[in-house]
Amino acid sequence: MTKLLITGGAGFIGSNFVHYALAHPDVSVTVLDKLTYAGSLASLTGLPEDRFRFVHGDICDSALVTELFGEHDAVVHYAAESHNDNSLSGPAPFVQTNLIGTFTLLEAARATGIRYHHISTDEVYGDLEFDDPERFTESTPYNPSSPYSSTKAGSDLLVRAWVRSFGVQATISNCSNNYGPRQHVEKFIPRQITNVIDGVRPRLYGDGLNVRDWIHADDHSSAVMRILEAGRVGETYLIGADGEKTNRDVVEAILQMMGQPTDAYDLVTDRPGHDKRYAIDWSKLSDELGWTPTYQSFPDGIADTIAWYRDNEAWWRPQKAEAEAKYAAVGQ
Ligand code: NAD
Ligand code: TDX
C-alpha cells in the first residue's frame, strides 16, 4: 500500500487528485486541509472509508505536519491561497500559506526524508505577448506579476533550495489553468456557468482578449501521478494540454452550449496587472515520462463541466452570494 498525504485535498485540484489516486486499489490517502472558504468536505464524498482519512489542520502547524510526514510514503502539496483577485484585495494569507506553509512542509520533509511533490502554476513565469511564438518551458526565467503568483514563485524557489542545500527528495510541477467539476465559483469558468444558470450575464475583464491555456483537472491529476511514479528528484515538469483560448472564446462557447446568444456578456473593469497570455510547452513531460492528456476536446470538457454545475447546485450554491459580493465591491 502506498500511503499518500495530500495537502489542500478539499480544494478543486487536490480533491480531483484524491479521487484519481484512490481509484488505484493499492493507494491510501490522508488529506490535510484547513477548510478555508475554498475547501469543501462535499468534494470528498464517495471515497473508500478503509483507505481514506481526513485531518483538519493548517500546513503552518509544524508539529502536526512532521507527525503526519512520519506516517506516509509521499506528500503532494496542493494547499494554497489560489485566487489572483483575492491576492490583490488581501495578500496577507497568500504570504502566510503559500510561503510560510511551504517552508513548514519543507522543514518536515528535511527532518523525515519523505518524498515531496510541489504543485505550482505557470503564472510564476509572468506573461507572454499575444504574438510571441514561444511558450513557457522549464528554463523560462521567473517573472511573477501578482501577490498570488509571486508567493507561488517564492515557494518554488524554496523547494529548489531545500533540494540543493539539504537533499530534500522533491519534484515540482507548474501547470496551466485548470477547469472541471468542483472548482470554486470565484474562478472564471464556474463563475460564468453559474451566472448563466442564475440568469446573469457573464463578466469579462477588460477587452476579454487575454489568453489562458486550459487543461482539464483530470489530466493535471494523471500528470502528477506520473511524476510521482517516475519523475527525477530535483526536476521541474511543466504540465499543459495545448488549450490556448481567449477569455471571450471561452465565454462564447459557454453561452452557446447553454442556449444563450453568444454576445450576451458584459465587459467590466480590468484586473490590475492582468497577465496577457500563458502558454505551456509540456514536451519534457511527454518526452521523458511518456505522459499525454486524455481530454483532447475542450468543447467536450466544457460540456461535461456545465452538466456538473447544473446537476450539483447544492455543492456550489452556498459559495455564490459571497463570491459575487466580493466582485460587486470592485465593479466586476
Ligand atoms: P483551491 O483554492 O480550490 O483549494 C485550496 C485548498 O487548500 C482548499 O481546500 C483550502 O482549504 C486549502 N488550504 C488553504 N490554506 C491552507 C492551509 N494553510 N493549510 C491547509 N490547507 C489550506 O485551489 P486549487 O485551484 O485547487 O489549487 C490547488 C493548487 O494548484 C494550488 O497550489 C495552486 O497554486 C495550484 N494550481 C492551480 C491552478 C488552477 O487553475 N486552479 C493551476 C495551476 C496550479
Ligand atoms: O469574472 C471573471 N472574468 C474574467 O474575465 C473572472 C473571475 C476572470 N476573468 C479572467 C481573468 C483571467 O484572464 O479570466 C481569466 C481566468 O481567471 P481566473 O479563473 O481568476 O484564473 P487565473 O487568474 O488565470 O489563475 C488561475 O490559473 C492559474 C488559477 O486561479 C490559479 O490558481 C492558477 O495558478
Q: How far apart are CA 17 and CA 213, in angstroms?
A: 20
**φ/ψ of residue 56, rounded to 5:** -85, 110
Which atom, in ligand 1's list, is nearest to the CA of 36? 11
Q: How many angstroms does the Cα of residue 187 sit away from the middle of ligand 2?
A: 6
Q: What is the pLDDT of residues 137-184, one digit of tens each?
A: 999 999 999 999 999 999 999 999 999 999 999 999 999 999 999 999
The region that residue 315 occupies, defined by phi over 0 for left and psi between -120 and 50 for alpha, beta otherwise, is alpha
pLDDT computed for residue 69 by the predictor: 98
pLDDT computed for residue 151 by the predictor: 98
Q: What is the pLDDT of residues 37-80, one digit of tens each?
A: 999 999 999 999 999 999 999 999 999 999 999 999 999 999 99
User: Ligand 2: which of 187, 189, 248 to mutate, most ligand atoms within 8 Å of CB?
Assistant: 187
In short, whether 212's Cβ falls inside 6 Å of ligand 2 is yes
61 is catalytic: no
Which atom, in ligand 1's list, is nearest to the CA of 60? 18
Indicate the domain borders of the chain.
3-183+215-243+274-300
Residue nearest atom 28 of ligand 2, based on CA coordinates? 177
Whether residue 19 is predicted with pLDDT greater than 90 in this model: the reply is yes
pLDDT computed for residue 79 by the predictor: 99
pLDDT computed for residue 1 by the predictor: 87
Query: If pLDDT is split at 50, 70 and 90, which confidence band does 330 have?
Result: very high
Residue 280 has which C-alpha cell? 505551456
Burial class (CB in 10 A: 0-12, 13-18, 19+), 289: middle
123 is catalytic: yes
pLDDT computed for residue 130 by the predictor: 97
Q: How many angstroms does the Cα of residue 69 sit away from the middle of ligand 2?
A: 33
Residue 305 has which C-alpha cell? 463541466
Of the residues 122, 127, 186, 252, which is catalytic? Answer: 122
CATH architecture entry for 3-183+215-243+274-300? 3-Layer(aba) Sandwich (3.40)
Whether residue 268 is predicted with pLDDT greater than 90 in this model: the reply is yes
122 is catalytic: yes
Q: How far apart are CA 24 and CA 80, in angstroms?
A: 26
Residue 97 has which C-alpha cell? 500559506
Whether residue 296 is predicted with pLDDT greater than 90 in this model: the reply is no
| Mean pLDDT of all residues belonging to the chain | 98
pLDDT, mean of residues 108-116: 98
Contact between residue 38 and residue 184 where contact means Cβ atoms under 8 Å apart: yes
State how beta strands 115-121 and 74-77 pair.
parallel
